[in-house]
Structure 1
Amino acid sequence: MSKTSYPAGESHKRVHRDLIALGIAIAAIIMFVGTGSTVLPKIARSWIHGTAGPDHLLTNALLLNIALIIFGMRRYRQLISEIAERRKAEESAKILAETDALTGCLNRRSIGSATDRLIAGAAAGKDAVAFLMIDLDNFKQVNDLYGHTVGDAVLKLTTQRIQVIMPPDALIARLGGDEFACVIPYSSQNPDTIDTLVSRMIAAVSKPETIKGYPVENTMSLGIANNLAQDSSADSFVNADTLMHRADIAMYHAKKQGKNRYFWFEASMESELRFRNELEQGIRRGIQKSEFVPYYEQQIDLDSGTLVGFEMLARWNSPDLGLVNPTIFIPIAEEIGAISILSEQLIEQALIDAKQWNPKLTLSVNISPVQLRDPWFSQKLLKLLVKHNFPPQRLEIEITESCLHENLAVVKTMITSLKNQGIQISLDDFGTGYSSLTQLRALPFDRLKIDRSFVGELNDEEASEKIVNAIISLGHGLDLPITAEGIEDTKILEALRGRGKMKGQGYLYGRPEPAERVLIRLRDLNMLSVNPGTDEPAATDKDKEQVSERRRNSA
């Protein structure tokens, strides 16, 4: 706090005292004029002619007036100085309130009003205003890897590079974290000016730099909105809040499209974002109402054609959208942090369903990379197995290659914990990621699963066939059984047969089915757990009650 800043009550008291001091000084001046006109001539005559001096009382009164005038003038000068310091402090406080302390740019609080002023000025000159919303890609990793000191240096460097590109009349603000905004007036007849400027900005900001000994390479995603009408029925100009909202939507779209790029706002983006928000809300409601249900895809022994198990696939039985494919809702569920509880619900339902199958049939379930970050995941899964008395050797967990690059040590610990309980571990979508032989040797996998993108082109692309042969040979060399997914026709099946013991799945054997259809299929094949000669107990009454309750809720 400045030394010239005072609490409100103290400030009022000082103003009151200042008024009293000023009043005393004015009164002293008036008295000095009256008294001095009488006393001073007498003093002068006394000194010159040696006559009697003025009355002592009048002389003392004059001296008192002089003292009061000196006091008043000193207080007046102090008051002027204090007022100047207060104004300076207020200006400094205003600057601090409207400026980002780290970069010296405007902040979120001030960019709105400054943008509105710029829009008003541009409107008077028949020009347009572009609002740029900027977000640095993967900036959190810089803070996590190198610390916040390096992160702050990156933000300062980014600001400097942006300032070099921006025209003099542009506004630059740091909204918070790694998010920036630029507001640029431009001619509505030449919108390409903004595209050129933004392309230069992306190139400038992305130049590699060594900061405090660490290599840093920034990229950024941008969204752009202007204040011109989006359609003929709309107003010609919009305000700062609308521009910021639209630019933010466009920036989010750039993030989704792969980052390190920019997009102009389009009305369809807002509709897409609204639909996305509706999906998020629907997913949360769906979890509460058990609308997510397991479907099952057959897994077949390719040599004998025997059914050996099922892979559980998620489906969303939405009352508004119908049956929704997992490629739509799984990524969203991962982003909003709902994938763990959703997956646990599905796995529990699948365990209940699978207890009604022949005990020789296995159950495969896919695990999200998000779940593998949970140190308690293996304990949660084992708790479900114990709860439903499900044999762990019948369960196969499928994890994707991408999981191996996030935290190999954590994944290894998780896999080892699950394997120690008898659960099988499969590496899914093998061939699409970056697994190394070292990782395959270090991690105790039980099976490799060839991605459908290779299997589906077996007889069409020579390269794909070579990749499949290489994966199969690798599996044999590491003593890992193979599962081929995406078997769509007999040509692919024949191409895979005779290449060793292998499981396969795909639409050739039928599409994924709900639990009710699976039970009918297994009943026809005489492969239910209640069949004579099996030592697997049938589903308990509690399990059946849970199945009925979940199906009633989803209906």
Structure 2
Amino acid sequence: VAGLSYIWLALAAERGKQLRSEIRRRDQAEQEALQLARTDPLTGLFNRRVFGEELQTLIEAGGAERACLTIVLIDLNGFKGVNDTYGHAAGDAVLTTVGQRLRTSFEPGGIIARLGGDEFAVLLPGDLGQGESISPASLERARQALCQPLSWRANRISVGASVGVSCFPADGTKPSELLHAADIAMYEAKRNPGRGVCLFAPWMEQQRLEQRRLEDELRVGISNGELRPYYQPIVRLADQALCGFEVLARWQHPRLGLLTPDRFLRIAERSGQITDMTQALLRQACSDALMMPEHLRLAINISPTQLEEPRLAETLIEIIKVAGVRPSRIEIEITEDAVMDDVATAERVLQTFRASGVSIALDDFGTGYSSLSNLRRLKFDKIKIDQIFVKSLATSVESEKLVDAILGLAFSFDMKITAEGIEDAAAAEMLSRKGCTQGQGWLFGKPACVDHTLSLIDLQPRAAA
């Protein structure tokens, strides 16, 4: 009996040990589940739900005590390019590093969260401007810290950051209102890259509503043929004979009148309408080209976002051929930054254009970050010197040296050259002496509708492009 009692006691002790272990395991699992429910698994920061709850709690407490809160919304710029270029592991490293840098800048005291994707938020007790810890200058320092390069597998990766700020109770009394205000301010910072940190102001809401209205109207306008090509002359500098035109978009808006691209181009890109807009402009430009002499060429711009389209080149080439225009009469203009962001994709697209007879011009050269090896690899037919250098050519030694360097580079790669933004005869003559072959600018003509353009052609001497 004693032996049986011992065995029973031993079994009971073992069972008790197992129960205690199971309880600890369940407690640990519950704590881990609670932690997962409250935090972002990648960065360890609070998640969106918890941030909203903390904001609501502080609003309720602040309402009774008349305390202020500052909400900071942060969105990374260029993060998609990191994922596309280096892979998602690199993207995760960027997000983790951003989380660490936010902790360094705002802890203790700040409630930091990753809201999702590449968007972060910080909740700071106190009003913006109450002391050095919460000020536009301190937020700008924190933003700049986020933008510092990081090392990843022998690569140096950089991203930018746009920051929007709202304050309780001035900009809202509910979490949704405050986050909405900060979001509006953040997108205002994105629209104006020079404004890294943007504080919400009521006029931004009206501007955003107007932008949304324009987005809807643009969709209708493209369908109704309100987007029209305007043509700016490109001439041979030696004798100012006409070589062709750059095709520039204009929107004959039924409510606002004639709009230039600065009013609608970003809206088209952001809303995904840039493809339809480009195709509509190219169709009309090709139709107009049939009324122009065969030797005149048309240059049309491609947005950087369009390079990601799977059949960009094939679609535009088909439009040209269906219109009955020789592809050699069409030139595609694309900026430095657009092609250098993804050189492999750019090379494939540009090769398809070139194989059809369409030529390629590198637009706004000198403002981006082209490398010599990529210039050789992508085989541009023409370089267009950015107008910022042309306009200061006569007054800036630095601009003249840059223009000389660009010309020398173009000569060495056997590329044609067009100088943009020529406004006076002295600049035109100076560029011609240096060997620049073509130019455009208000000296030779402003962008004009097709009727005025056809009249200009009748008056101009002709040159081969």
Take 2:107 and 2:291, find their aligned partners in 1: how far apart are those partners? 71
**1:315 Cα deviation from its structure 2 partner:** 0.8
The alignment covers a number of residue pairs equal to: 440
Pick the aligned partner of 1:271 from 186, 195, 206: 206
**1:100 Cα deviation from its structure 2 partner:** 4.0
Match of 2:452 in 1: 517
Pick the aligned partner of 2:278 from 343, 355, 358: 343
Bigger shift: 262-271 or 312-321?
Answer: 262-271
**1:117 Cα deviation from its structure 2 partner:** 2.1
**1:323 Cα deviation from its structure 2 partner:** 1.0
Other structure's SS at 1:398 match: strand
Take 1:92 and 1:191, find their aligned partners in 2: how far apart are those partners? 38
Question: Is contact 2:166–2:200 with CA below 8 Å preserved after alignment?
Answer: yes
Take 2:421 and 2:164, find their aligned partners in 1: how far apart are those partners? 39
Bigger shift: 322-331 or 460-469?
Answer: 460-469
Verify: 1:506 aligned to 2:447, yes or no: no
Pick the aligned partner of 1:478 from 393, 413, 419: 413
Match of 1:395 in 2: 330
Other structure's SS at 2:134 match: helix
Q: Please, what TM-score do these two structures have when normalized by structure 1?
A: 0.69
Take 1:116 and 1:438, find their aligned partners in 2: how far apart are those partners? 55
Pick the aligned partner of 2:349 from 379, 402, 414: 414
> What CA deviation, in whole Å up to 9, does each residue of 1:393-452 have, x standing for no partner?
222222222233122233233333322322232222223333333333333333332222
Match of 2:16 in 1: none
Pick the aligned partner of 1:298 from 209, 222, 233: 233
In structure 1, the gaps of 5 or more residues are 1-84, 231-236, 528-555
Q: Please, what TM-score do these two structures have when normalized by structure 2?
A: 0.81
Verify: 1:119 aligned to 2:90, yes or no: no
Take 1:500 and 1:188, find their aligned partners in 2: how far apart are those partners? 56
> What CA deviation, in whole Å up to 9, does each residue of 1:338-382 have, x standing for no partner?
212211111111111110112222222222223333342222122
* Larger Rg, first or second structure (1 or 2): 1
**1:294 Cα deviation from its structure 2 partner:** 0.4
Match of 2:162 in 1: 221
Pick the aligned partner of 2:47 from 107, 110, 123: 107
Question: Is contact 1:314–1:326 with CA below 8 Å preserved after alignment?
Answer: yes
Report matched runs for 1:214-363 at 5 Å: 220-229=161-170, 238-258=173-193, 261-363=196-298
**1:119 Cα deviation from its structure 2 partner:** 1.5
- The aligned amino acid for 1:223 is G
- The aligned amino acid for 2:341 is E
**1:523 Cα deviation from its structure 2 partner:** 4.5
- The aligned amino acid for 1:502 is T
Question: Is contact 2:361–2:380 with CA below 8 Å preserved after alignment?
Answer: yes
- The aligned amino acid for 1:229 is A
Take 2:268 and 2:253, find their aligned partners in 1: how far apart are those partners? 15
Bigger shift: 120-129 or 93-102?
Answer: 93-102
Take 1:419 and 1:203, find their aligned partners in 2: how far apart are those partners? 41
Take 2:236 and 2:275, find their aligned partners in 1: how far apart are those partners? 31
Verify: 1:131 aligned to 2:71, yes or no: yes
Bigger shift: 193-202 or 351-360?
Answer: 193-202
In structure 2, the gaps of 5 or more residues are 1-24
Higher RCO (CA-CA < 8 Å; seq separation 6+): 2
Verify: 1:449 aligned to 2:384, yes or no: yes
Percent identity (aligned): 39
Take 2:44 and 2:409, find their aligned partners in 1: how far apart are those partners? 57
- The aligned amino acid for 2:67 is D
Take 2:424 and 2:374, find their aligned partners in 1: how far apart are those partners? 33
- The aligned amino acid for 1:267 is P
- The aligned amino acid for 2:166 is A
Other structure's SS at 2:123 match: strand
Verify: 1:384 aligned to 2:311, yes or no: no
> Cα gap change, 1:92/1:425 in structure 2, threshold over 3 Å: closer, same or farther?
closer
**1:238 Cα deviation from its structure 2 partner:** 1.3
> Cα gap change, 1:100/1:392 in structure 2, threshold over 3 Å: closer, same or farther?
closer
**RMSD of the TM alignment (CA)?**
3.6
Take 2:400 and 2:141, find their aligned partners in 1: how far apart are those partners? 44
Bigger shift: 294-303 or 87-96?
Answer: 87-96
> Cα gap change, 1:380/1:227 in structure 2, threshold over 3 Å: closer, same or farther?
same
Take 2:417 and 2:128, find their aligned partners in 1: how far apart are those partners? 61
Question: Is contact 2:127–2:134 with CA below 8 Å preserved after alignment?
Answer: no
> Cα gap change, 1:395/1:206 in structure 2, threshold over 3 Å: closer, same or farther?
closer
Match of 2:125 in 1: 185
Pick the aligned partner of 2:112 from 172, 184, 196: 172
**1:159 Cα deviation from its structure 2 partner:** 4.0
